[in-house]
Structure 1
Amino acid sequence: MTEQTQERRRPNRGPLPGLVLFVVIAGSLVLIGAGLFSGQLSRGGLLPWNGDCTVSTADGEVGLDREEAKLATTAVALSAQGMAAPDTSDLDPSVVRRLAEGPPEDAGASLSCRGSVREDVPEQQPTATGLTPRAELVRESMTDVFGEQSLGGFAPGGVDQGHQEGSTHYEGRAIDIFFRPVSEENRRDGWMLAHWLVAHAEDLDIQYVIFDDQVWSARSSRGQWQDYRASDPGNEILRHLDHVHVDVVRGGTD
């Protein structure tokens, strides 16, 4: 038998070993990716490909871009008052349902948005209403959607007492919106407003939203609601159980 014949009879391994190696590596990457994905969700973080905002629904986390979040929160607020609402047929129905009804077991946060603070806004002084122009715009924008509300934390000429030291209320940058008495229904109404404020925070230069033992900060890139630690845990006002607090950025060297 010639050397050439022996060469022809050698087993032809072809690309099979390389293909097997590729499958093993690809499978490992899938498992690693799944672990990272579930780990990110378990930590409550906003996924980078999941949009600017997320809504916790019965079917899991649903990502929205900021325009969708503004549309959804405005639509449910207007619908709750029996007013004509914008079309939300392009949105996931579970998102609109959760924002309208809240979590079934207990009122609480359902929508979160990534924080964002503009660096080029000028510092402002209070106007005749006792609010800075930015805070006044927040008040007007809320009224356009939610109608007349029970407001506090500001007054013509400003306020200089009734709040904690260093409060943004003393600078005319904060508004309190009351939902009294503290009840399940009023908490759900308060969360409807809180979600709307978070969704519109970028447009309105909102810095903080505080409600129901929770705080959202525009300075948090993750945009998650965090536990709010009141100086007196026994005081429902300091815990913001009976009102939503919203304040705007100072501007300048803020």
Structure 2
Amino acid sequence: MSFSPKSPGALEPHRSWRAPFVFLVVIAVIVGALVWLSPTIANQVRMDEGRLYIGAECSVETSDGTSNLSRDQAKLATTAVALAARGAQTPDISGIDSAVIQRLAEGSPDDVGPGLRCEGTAADDVPEQELTPTGLTPRAQHVREEMAAVFGDLPLGGFAPGGVSQGHGAESTHYSGRGIDVFFRPVTEENRCEGWILAQWLIAHADDLDIQYVIFDDKIWSAHSPRGHWQTYDAPEPAKDILRHRDHVHVDVLRGGPR
């Protein structure tokens, strides 16, 4: 009896169903994962100025890891910390991890430096403004008023009625009435902690207040940085405390008008 092996084509009817079946299983798994994750994905994907952003708008590094926050949560948390520091009534923050609040209020066990990151989304449609009698533009004056509402009376500088024309670098926003300095002197751990409470409140509210830069304690935050991380601030020589912004928080607002 002779034996004739089957030709390759003879095997195809038995195997042809496998590839479509595997493909359908993979598609089903992907669709199921998307359905399950869709609320999370929807909350993490945003469009701004034609750019796609994936991830939380703000986050805080705690001893337990990274806690993601919406912009509203970051504003609520930083405001509560600021009010608590001056013994004022605080808003309800029961929905925010207590480790986040502790990090914002006290810093990390190793340092009182920044724990909050918030993405910058500098608006490009704000009008250019002139000085008001205070020596600040209306936008900068609004920042001053909002700080006072939360932090009370603060020792301020960097502006004067009629404007300032010296005492700062050549490109300083103080000369156009867009910059404010908030002093925390002398340089102590307690004053550094208070300065960081203000600095983090400012970046959480940066979108509302059209804030462009916040500088404090050798660090700088920029609204033009889409990830919103604090970067090292390179102070000009001689790098004394005031030039390193170790004894004051600098905040300025967008110029506005054509870029």
- TM-score of the superposed pair, with normalisation by structure 2: 0.80
- What is the CA–CA distance in structure 2 between the aligned matches of 1:232 and 1:145, rounded to whole Å? 34
How is 1:1-254 mapped onto 2 (pairs within 5 angstroms)? 49-232=54-237, 234-254=239-259
Shift of the alpha carbon at 1:235? Answer: 1.0
**TM-fit CA distance, 1:224:** 0.6
- Normalised to the residue count of structure 1, the TM-score between the two structures is 0.82
Distance (Å, rounded) in 2 between the aligned partners of 1:50 and 1:71: 19
Equivalents in 2 of 1:59, 1:107: separation in Å?
17
Structure 1 moving runs of 4+ over 3 Å: none
In the aligned structure 1, how far is the partner of 2:239 from the partner of 2:70?
38
**What is the CA–CA distance in structure 1 between the aligned matches of 2:248 and 2:57, rounded to whole Å?**
26
Superposition CA RMSD, Å: 2.5
Q: Distance in 2 between matches of 1:155 and 1:71?
A: 32
- Shift of the alpha carbon at 1:234? 3.1
From the superposition, tell whether residues 234 and 166 of structure 1 become closer, same or farther in structure 2 (CA, over 3 Å): closer
CA distance in 2, matches of 1:158, 1:137: 17
Distance 2:238 2:64 in 1: 34
Unaligned runs of 5+ in 2: 4-13, 30-52
Q: Quote the sequence identity (%).
A: 60
Spell out, residue by residue over 1:114-152, the C-alpha distance to the aligned partner (whole angstroms, 9 max, x if none): 111111110000100000000000000000000000000
In 2, Cα distance between equivalents of 1:233 and 1:114: 31
1:221 to 1:233, Cα distance in 2 relative to 1, 3 A:
farther
Local SS of the residue matching 2:215: strand
Gap change, CA 1:163 and 1:198, over 3 Å in 2: same
Worse-superposed segment, 49-58 or 216-225: 49-58
Please name the residue that 1:29 is paired with.
none
- Kept in 2, the 8 Å contact 1:209–1:215? The answer is yes
SS in structure 2 of the partner of residue 90 of structure 1: coil
SS of the residue 2:187 aligns to? coil
Aligned to 2:46: none
- With over 3 angstroms needed to count, the CA separation of the structure-2 counterparts of 1:135 and 1:184, relative to structure 1, is same
Q: What one-letter code is carried by the residue in structure 2 that aligns with 1:106? A: D
- Distance apart, 1:185 and its partner CA: 0.6
SS of 2:67's partner is strand
Deviation of 1:49 after TM superposition, in Å, equals: 4.6
SS where residue 216 of structure 1 aligns? strand
Question: Which stretch shifts more, 188-197 or 98-107?
Answer: 98-107
How far apart are residue 50 of structure 1 and its match?
Answer: 3.5
**How far is the alpha carbon of 1:174 from its aligned partner?**
0.3
Q: Which amino acid aligns with 1:56?
A: E
